[in-house]
Amino acid sequence: MKRSPKPQSFSRRTLLQFGVGFVGTGSLTAWLGTGALARTIERRSSGTMPDQMPDQMLDQRVASASGSPHPQSSLTPDEALAELMAGNQRFVARKRVNPHQDTARITEVAAGQAPFAAILSCADSRVVPEIAFDQGIGDLFVVRVAGNLAMIEDIASEEYAVGVLGAPLVMVLGHERCGAVDAAVNGGELPGVIESLVVAIQPAVQASEGEPGDRLISNPVNCP
Q: How far apart are CA 110 and CA 129, in angstroms?
A: 21
Q: How far apart are CA 116 and CA 139, in angstroms?
A: 6
The pTM of this model reads: 0.66
Q: Where are the domains of the chain?
A: 12-207
* Architecture category of domain 12-207 in CATH: 3-Layer(aba) Sandwich (3.40)
Amino acid 215: pLDDT: 76
Over residues 130-151, the mean pLDDT reads 94
Cα-based distances in Å from 116 to 7, 17, 73, 110, 135:
26, 18, 5, 16, 10
Q: How far apart are CA 19 and CA 162, in angstroms?
A: 9
pLDDT tens string 48-86: 544 444 555 444 544 444 444 445 678 999 999 999 999
Above 50 in pLDDT, residue 170?
yes
Above 60 in pLDDT, residue 221?
no
Contact 134, 84 (CB under 8 A): no
